[in-house]
Structure 1
């Protein structure tokens, strides 16, 4: 009889250990998702700030250096590492290859490649605005290109201001909701 009780007691201990492990994993994974969402918010802000800096450099190259668009894009792209730098240098190389495509088509294709090729914390709206920028570059005079870049910079500034002003609250909210959602799920499951 003692063996039966010790076997049942051992199975009960294992069941409790598995239950607590499951509770820990659910809370940890839900909290991790909340932390990941907060990091995405911060990453989007950093990426848009970097893009704004690159557009300022591009505006300077076009306005003051009077560099052709391919040369300006290449210079700006070489200054910046990462996917955005590769975007600019890739577009510059495609322009130089002259495969019969317009700058607008090259730019749009590069943005689609950027959206599908790498994981960037940019929203669909961010990518659409960036894609629209390419429609007005290259074939207009310097003044119109400068105005186009200024308009895009204003759009970026609005997005950056929104992200900065809501960063603290959103990051806390995402993190808290992740952990609290995990706890709620544990309560509902058990």
Structure 2
């Protein structure tokens, strides 16, 4: 009886390990969709509401989901307290401070950094074009993240249970 319980514990624990490892592949697409939604709110605030960027970021931060709420609130705080001389510096510092625990990839961070370099540096028509270009690039990242999720999530879950079975066979 003890051997059966031990065997089940080995298989279940390795299966749970596989599920935990696969989790990051399912969270990234969700975070990218939340980013798109937050940036659409930011576009509305800046382009159509003519709200200054620090206040627009604050408004978006209040309405966004984690981790983007902390990010936009940090951008707003950096700008309102005049900690930095440029929007780019405030944007990058907010990325370092608030996105360290997120599941976005290095490529996503580069895209976000490039967006931070140009936001607020042109007139409203150019801002519209900038947002449209960013949405197109973000859509490609979302598709890649979804493909990666489809491929790797199932693999890690299966490998977790198979690893547990392999350990069980070796021990028996």
- Fold-level match, TM-score > 0.5? yes
Q: Distance in 2 between matches of 1:114 and 1:86?
A: 6
- Tell me which structure has the larger Cα radius of gyration: 1
Aligned to 1:9: none
Q: Distance in 2 between matches of 1:45 and 1:29?
A: 26
Note if contact 1:91-1:106 (Cα within 8 Å) is conserved in structure 2: yes
For these two proteins, the number of residue pairs brought into alignment is 172
Deviation at 1:165, TM superposition (A): 4.6
Describe the superposition over 1:92-148 as per-residue Cα deviations: whole angstroms up to 9, x where unpaired.
Answer: 1211111342111111111111233xx222222222221221111122222232222
Note if contact 1:115-1:127 (Cα within 8 Å) is conserved in structure 2: no
Deviation at 1:54, TM superposition (A): 0.8
Aligned to 1:143: 125
Q: Distance in 1 between matches of 2:93 and 2:84?
A: 14
Normalised to the residue count of structure 2, the TM-score between the two structures is 0.85
Aligned to 2:138: 156
User: Kindly tell me: are residues 100 and 107 of structure 1, through their superposed partners in 2, closer, same or farther at Cα, counting changes over 3 Å?
Assistant: closer
User: Kindly tell me: are residues 185 and 125 of structure 1, through their superposed partners in 2, closer, same or farther at Cα, counting changes over 3 Å?
Assistant: farther
Normalised to the residue count of structure 1, the TM-score between the two structures is 0.78
Aligned to 2:109: 127
2:61 paired with 1:68: no
2:17 paired with 1:59: no
Q: Distance in 2 between matches of 1:129 and 1:61?
A: 21
Q: Distance in 2 between matches of 1:159 and 1:121?
A: 13
Q: Distance in 2 between matches of 1:186 and 1:144?
A: 61
SS of residue paired to 1:44: helix
Deviation at 1:68, TM superposition (A): 1.4
Note if contact 1:27-1:182 (Cα within 8 Å) is conserved in structure 2: yes
Deviation at 1:168, TM superposition (A): 4.2
Deviation at 1:21, TM superposition (A): 5.5
Q: Distance in 2 between matches of 1:71 and 1:33?
A: 43
User: Kindly tell me: are residues 105 and 160 of structure 1, through their superposed partners in 2, closer, same or farther at Cα, counting changes over 3 Å?
Assistant: same
Aligned to 2:26: 42
Gaps of 5+ in 2: none
Aligned to 2:162: 180
